[in-house]
Amino acid sequence: MMDNEKSSDTSEPDVPSDSLADVAPCLQVDEPPVHVVLYQPEIPQNTGNIGRTCVAVGAKLWLVRPLGFKIDEHSVRRAGVDYWHMLNLQLVDSIGEVQQALPQRKFWYFSRFARRSLWEAEIDLGDAIVFGRESAGLPEEILDLDSPQAIRIPTTEQVRSLNLSNTAAIAVYEVLRQHGRLG
């Protein structure tokens, strides 16, 4: 368990080799089917829910500091993350660190302002899906709204945006659906 969000330890927690295979035998555990990147997340419950989704499908969760909460044992337990020890987690200080760690992967940037719909994107297994802060989204230096890799989940005009954990779950399962990995 990490001491807090300022920790320089970016090692991944140990994951029992058969834990995900027992739950989801159709998913390959060795290579994450998708990398979920949360840029400076602010709400621990959202991060906890996204972590649960990642554990459910074998995805890797990247958290870009600074975090708006602590991820020490007490804070994690308070957010209801009793499976945190099974999460394939990496803490980093910048989005550039994630890009450097995954040089052969595409990065897909989610924004409610993107022009392209998730349903139009062909996301490859192993690609990274990137989400911004709950309060502000992704900053301009990361998000290019004109890029074909800037995508959104369509909603009616009555809704400003979807909850971050809902958006991440929809995106993760859409990647799996596109590749016949649900079953």
> Which domains, from first to last, does the chain contain?
35-179 (3.40.1280.10)
**How far is C-alpha 21 from the chain's CA centre?**
20
> What does DSSP assign to residue 137?
B
Q: How confident is the model at residue 8 (pLDDT cuts 50, 70, 90)?
A: very low
Q: Is 111 annotated as contributing to ligand binding?
A: no
Report the C-alpha gap between 1 and 36 in whole angstroms: 19
pLDDT digits (tens, 9 = 90+) for 83-138: 788 899 999 999 999 999 999 999 999 999 999 999 999 999 999 999 999 999 99
Report which secondary-structure segment, H or E, holds 129: strand 128-131
Instruction: Consult the annotation and say whether 161 binds a ligand.
Output: yes
Compute the half-sphere exposure of residue 124: CA atoms within 13 Å on the CB side of its CA. Answer: 7
DSSP state of 122: -
The reply, when asked if residue 170 is annotated as ligand binding, is: no
The DSSP output letter for 67 is: P
